[in-house]
Chains A and B, each alone.
Chain A
Amino acid sequence: MNQPGSINNGASDIASVLVVVQASFSLVAGLSALPFAIVEPGFRVLAVVTILMAAAMFWLARNLRRGRRWAWRWLVTLEVLSLAMTAVLSLLPIGSIRGPVPLLVNLVIPLSVLVLLAVASSNRPSRPRAAELT
């Protein structure tokens, strides 16, 4: 059910699917760190944080589909942060982004989600002004 100030259209539907894809990949990254966490205490924290983050992203995707404005805001923040991290890592000489798959996952998908979120927001029907209601 849409609320006042909500967003709901094809763009947000597509964005929510891409967020679910990202969340699934985060979930795998978190789960795969668990065996290492047996001997590496730092990764116990990181694995749990990653799994919680993935759960949060599933939840945000669900609420984006339902047109919740706050989910839209959280996702914009997360995707901007993700892109900023990718930009910083690609500038460092540590070989983080090499080949088409990291480009698609770390650059194209977050950028697409941001564009779709922007489109979803611009397609949102504007609220009627007080004067129009009277």
Chain B
Amino acid sequence: MGAYVALIGRGYVGVMYDIATDHASALIAALITPVFGFGFVLGLRFLASRGITWAVRVMQAYGATPSITKLAAALMLLSGGLHLALVPGHAGITGVLFIVDGLGFIGLGIAAFFTSWWRRPAVLWLVATIVAYIVWVVAGWETPDQVGIACKLIELVALGLLMRLANPTRRSWPRRAWRATAFPLMACVTTLGIWVGGLAHPDALHAHAGALLQPVADVATPEQQVAAARLLADTRANIARYQDPAAAIAAGFKPGPVSSADPLRHFQNAANANVILDPNRPQALVYAQTTHGLQLIGAMFQMARAGQWGPDPGGPLTQWHQHEGICFSPFGFEFTFETPFWTCPVGSTSITTPPMLHVWIIDNGKNGPFAADLDKTVQRQLTGRS
């Protein structure tokens, strides 16, 4: 975990498709494996220069290998190293499969320099590994995280290189069409598989796709229950004066953009940007677009920086959340979700918002007064839309 925290710097609080703790060792392996490989080649070169026969042969085979094969082999060796590094964190059948997979990749990576038959088994091995990962993720036996996704990225690139190495003897149009579409299809299936797995089995800290929750204790103490009730009462009392949106605008709250996708509107006050959880000065007011006009339904407190969790007087009852993995459109309040490979549609921007805490002053159904989202049933009753 330390390597990852060092990689992304200060203010780390978790991220969509986070790094699983038992996968952190693979990051070390990812750094060590290329250094080890480079040192190994240097050592062989030194031995060959001394006239050691087997080292000379190995270096001749290495030198005669095309660069595209060398890269494909290096990526398979890297993937093999990563799989072996992941073994200690995976018990049972998954651990055994990681050993088999890792050794297979290393064997095929070495075979690339000395054999002519290695390409087809390597393609099968890569496809089987990627498909197995998708099955594991969709079944919920593995949580998609950045180590797993990075590993699939490495394997997809290796697969692309191997498919480029193919030398088709028959050039009929179905074969040409298959050759042109097979790799993009594999990349699409991999992305969708990881997505489906992540959405179907979110971990405890993901409220929904795009929202990461503050880590908190499981149960609220009696003091925290009292503090949460006080926060709700204070917020309700203090923002009551903004029932009329005109009063909010007069007080400095600016209406957010109207969205056809979202019937809730946030009125933000930039003057309160650096205030921390003050019921009298929330960062935003939330209105619902009802058939009778805008109805005040809550307040939103927000911290100044992404990754800076706010105070949670109610413990697990007042859990902050931040939105990430979201692609915002330049055309207004519109968004889609970022793919697991961190890509957004052209023109949109991936954004992580600073942590926020909603306080719903209306009855928010089973979600409760501090939930990240308005309860869907309540929203439908208020706005006629879900």
Contact = CB atoms under 8 A, between A and B. Distances in A.
Interface stretch (B121-129, B134-142, B186-194, B362-370): B186-194
Interface size band for A: 35 or more
A11 interface: yes
A33 B188 CA distance: 14
Interface of A: 10-11, 13-14, 16-18, 20-21, 23-33, 36, 39-43, 45-47, 49-50, 53, 58, 89, 93-96, 98-106
A93 B329 CA distance: 17
Interface stretch (B88-96, B222-230, B267-275, B348-356): B348-356
Nearest to A99: B146
Given A20-B183, A46-B346, A32 B337 contact: yes
B17 A46 contact: no
Given A10-B68, A13-B164, A24-B187, A106 B342 contact: yes
Contacts of A31: 188
B259 to A, nearest CB: 8
B252 interface: no
Contact of B341 (A14, A28, A58): A28
Interface residues of B, number: 61
Given A10-B68, A13-B68, A25-B191, A43 B351 contact: no
21 contacts: A10-B67, A14-B67, A17-B157, A17-B164, A25-B343, A27-B184, A28-B188, A29-B327, A32-B195, A33-B336, A40-B334, A43-B336, A45-B331, A89-B349, A93-B306, A94-B350, A95-B307, A98-B8, A99-B7, A100-B147, A105-B343
B341 A98 contact: no
A10 B8 contact: no
B353 to A, nearest CB: 8
A102 B346 contact: no
A51 B17 CA distance: 25
A28 B164 contact: no
Contacts of A23: 184
8 interchain residue pairs of minimum CB distance? A95-B352, A42-B331, A24-B187, A40-B334, A102-B342, A10-B67, A29-B343, A46-B345
Nearest to A10: B67
Interface in B150-192: 150, 153, 156-157, 160-161, 164, 180, 183-184, 187-188, 191-192
